[in-house]
Structure 1
Amino acid sequence: MLGDAPSAKAHSEGRASPSISRRTALGLLGAAALAPTIGRARAADAATIRAGVLKFGTVNWELDTIRRLGLDSANGIRIESVQVASNDATRIAFMAGDVDVIATDLLLAARLTAEGTPVVYIPFSASEGGVMVAKDSPFKTLSDLKGKKVAVAGGPLDKSWLLLRAYAQSRDNFDLATAVEPSFGAPPLLAEMLANGQFDAGLLFWNFCARLEAKGFRTLISTEDAARAFGATGAVALIGYVFKADFAARHPEAVDGFAAASKAAKQALATSASAWDALRPLMQADDPAVFDALKRRFIDGIPNRPIAEEEADAARLYAVIAEIGGPKLVGPAKTLPKGLYWTGHAASP
Structure 2
Amino acid sequence: MMFSRRSALRLAGLGAATLFAPESGLAADKVRVGVLKFGTVSWELDTLKHHRLDAANGIDLEVVYFAGEDATNVAMLAGAIDVIVSDWIWVSQQRSAGSDVTLVPFSSAVGAIMVKGSSPIKSLADLKARKIGVTGGPLDKSWLLIQAVAKRDHNLDLTANNEIVFGAPPLLSEKALEGELDAVLNFWHFCARLEANGFRRLFGADDAARMLGATGSVSALGYVFHDGWARENPSAAMGLVKASRAAKHILATSDEEWLRLKPLIRADGAELEKLRDRYREGIPTRPIAEEQADAALLYRVLAQIGGEKLVGQTPEMAPGTFWPELIE
TM-score by length of 2: 0.90
Runs of 4+ in 1 over 3 A off after TM superposition: 6-10
Q: Which of 298, 305, 308 is 1:317 aligned to?
A: 298
Q: Which of 139, 145, 150 is 1:168 aligned to?
A: 150
Structure 1 segments unaligned to the other structure (5+ residues) = 1-5, 11-41
Structure 2 counterpart SS, 1:52: strand
Conserved? CA contact 1:153–1:186, under 8 Å: yes
Deviation at 1:256, TM superposition (A): 0.7
Assess, with a 3 A threshold, how the Cα gap between structure 1 residues 285 and 348 changes in structure 2: closer, same or farther: farther
- What residue is the counterpart of 1:29 in the other structure? none
Deviation at 1:170, TM superposition (A): 1.5
Q: Which of 158, 161, 181 is 1:199 aligned to?
A: 181
Equivalent residue runs for 1:18-57 within 5 Å? 45-57=27-39
Query: 2:280 matched to 1:281?
Result: no
Equivalent residue runs for 1:245-324 within 5 Å? 245-286=227-268, 288-324=269-305
Query: 2:101 matched to 1:119?
Result: yes
Query: 2:316 matched to 1:335?
Result: yes
Structure 2 counterpart SS, 1:184: strand
Deviation at 1:333, TM superposition (A): 2.8
Deviation at 1:348, TM superposition (A): 6.4
Higher gyration radius (CA)? 1
- What is the alpha-carbon distance in structure 2 between the residues aligned to residue 311 and residue 109 of structure 1? 12
Conserved? CA contact 1:50–1:100, under 8 Å: yes
- What residue is the counterpart of 2:17 in the other structure? none
Residue 285 of structure 2 aligns to which amino acid in structure 1?
N
Kindly report the root-mean-square deviation, in angstroms, between the aligned alpha carbons of the 2 structures: 1.7
- What residue is the counterpart of 1:87 in the other structure? 69
Conserved? CA contact 2:88–2:321, under 8 Å: no
- What is the alpha-carbon distance in structure 2 between the residues aligned to residue 203 and residue 126 of structure 1? 16
Structure 1 counterpart SS, 2:104: strand
Conserved? CA contact 2:32–2:63, under 8 Å: yes
Deviation at 1:229, TM superposition (A): 0.3
Conserved? CA contact 1:307–1:343, under 8 Å: no
Conserved? CA contact 2:88–2:220, under 8 Å: yes
Structure 2 segments unaligned to the other structure (5+ residues) = 1-20
- What is the alpha-carbon distance in structure 2 between the residues aligned to residue 8 and residue 91 of structure 1? 34
Structure 1 counterpart SS, 2:217: coil
Residue 203 of structure 1 aligns to which amino acid in structure 2?
L
Assess, with a 3 A threshold, how the Cα gap between structure 1 residues 7 and 141 changes in structure 2: closer, same or farther: closer
Deviation at 1:164, TM superposition (A): 0.9
